[in-house]
Amino acid sequence: MKKYFILLASFIFTLLFVCPSFAGVNVTSTYSSQPVGSYITITAAADGITNPVYQFWVKDSRDDSWTSSGNYGSNTYTFTRSVPGTYTVVASAKASGAADSTAISSSTLNVAFTKMGSVSALSVSGPSGSQPVGSSATFTATAADNGGTPWYEFWLHDSNDWRVVKNWSTSNNYSLSNLQSGSYVVAVYSLDQNDKDAGKWDMAYYKSFVLNIGSNVSLTTPSSGTVNTPFSVAASAAGITSPVYQFWYKAPNGTWTGGSYSSTATLSITPTAAGTYTVIVYAKDPYAPADDTHSVQSEVKTINVTSDGLEIISIT
C-alpha cells in the first residue's frame, strides 16, 4: 500500500509540474440557429499557442463539402447560408508564422440555418463498398422538409456513363438487382416540390454511394533489382469503371512513400539502398472516396534489391 501511494504521488507530481501544458482550441457561436440569410459569428480561442492565428472550415450538410474562411487570421468568422440545414464548423489554430502542419483543430460545433418549405436534411440507407457478383442493392432516401413535400431523383453511373434511372417523384427508393462485375455510383437528390418546380437546383440535397461488384486489382513487379537502377511496377484493375490507382512502397529502412490517386497504372522506383522493397497498390472508381471501404488493394509484393557491385578504389 505504501508503494502504491508513492507511485501515485510521483505520477501527480509529474502531471502537474513536469508535463508541458497542452494546446487546445475552443469554438463558440453567437447563435445556434438562425433563419437563412442571417449571420452567425464563430469565435475561436486557443490555449498554449503564442500569437495564434486562425482558420475556419464549414461543412455543408447539403453535399458534405467543406469550405474555408481563407488564409489564417482573426479569431472570428462570420458567415451565412441560403440553404437550410445543419452546418459543422471546425477552427484550426497555429502560431503566427508557423507552418500549417503545426496547426491544431478544435472539436466540431454545429449551427443551423432554417427555412420553411425547403429540404434541410437528407439521409440515405443502402450498401456501399465491395459486394459479390449477383448482389442486389436498395437505396432508401428520407428528407426533412418542414412545411413542404420532398421529391427525389436517382442517378446511376457505370460503364454506360451517367443517366437518370428514376426521375423526380415522391417515391424515395431505388433498387438494383443481379449486379455484374463493375463499379456503380448511385446518386440521390432531394428538393422540395416548390423549389423543384421553380428550378432552384442549388437548393438540392445530395448523397452518393459507390458499389464495387467483384472488383479487384493486381500488381506486377520484378523479383529483383539493383541499387540506383530504376524498375517499374504495373497495376491492372478489373471490375472498376475508369479506375484510378494509388501506389505505396516501403524502402529497406521502413519508410513508406506514396502518391495521390491517378489514372496512371505504372510507377517507376529508383532504389537508393540495398534490401527488400515492399509494394502495394490500391484502385477505386474515380467518383469513390479515397478510403478503405471504397477501394480494393492488391497483394503485397516484395523486390530484393542488391548493390550495383561497383567498388571505389583509391589511387595514390
Q: With contact defined as beta carbons under 8 Å apart, do 81 and 75 qualify?
A: no
The answer to whether position 293 is within a domain reads yes
CATH of the domain at 275: 2.60.40.10
The answer to whether position 147 is within a domain reads yes
Last residue of a domain, one of 213, 242, 262: 213
Residue 17's SS3 state is helix
The answer to whether position 31 is within a domain reads yes
Q: How is residue 253 annotated by DSSP?
A: T
What is the structure's pLDDT at 309?
52
**Residues 197, 162 share a domain:** yes
**Residues 208, 263 share a domain:** no
Q: With contact defined as beta carbons under 8 Å apart, do 233 and 259 qualify?
A: no
Res. 146: pLDDT tops 90: yes
**Residues 167, 185 share a domain:** yes
Strands 24-29 and 40-47: antiparallel
Res. 12: pLDDT tops 80: no
The answer to whether position 25 is within a domain reads yes
Cα dihedral 175, 178, 181, 182 in deg (nearest 10): -10
Res. 312: pLDDT tops 90: no
**Residues 291, 207 share a domain:** no
Last residue of a domain, one of 61, 85, 114: 114
Q: With contact defined as beta carbons under 8 Å apart, do 40 and 31 qualify?
A: yes
**Residues 92, 28 share a domain:** yes
**Residues 229, 190 share a domain:** no
Average confidence score pLDDT of the chain: 91
Structural domain that includes position 263: 216-306
Backbone dihedral angles phi then psi of residue 2, each to the nearest 5 degrees? -60, -40
pTM of full prediction above 0.85: no
**Residues 100, 32 share a domain:** yes
The answer to whether position 102 is within a domain reads yes
The answer to whether position 67 is within a domain reads yes
Last residue of a domain, one of 97, 114, 131: 114
* pLDDT tens digits, 163-193: 999 999 999 999 999 999 999 999 999 999 9
Between CA 226 and CA 186 the distance in angstroms is: 47
Q: With contact defined as beta carbons under 8 Å apart, do 242 and 161 qualify?
A: no
- The number of domains in the chain is 3
**Residues 33, 103 share a domain:** yes
The answer to whether position 86 is within a domain reads yes
The answer to whether position 209 is within a domain reads yes
* pLDDT tens digits, 19-67: 334 569 999 999 999 999 999 999 999 999 999 999 999 999 999 999 9
**Residues 272, 195 share a domain:** no
* pLDDT tens digits, 59-102: 999 999 999 999 999 999 999 999 999 999 999 999 999 999 99
Query: CA nearest 235: which of 292, 284, 275?
Result: 284
**Residues 302, 272 share a domain:** yes
CA distances from 171 to 149, 175, 200 (A): 11, 12, 20
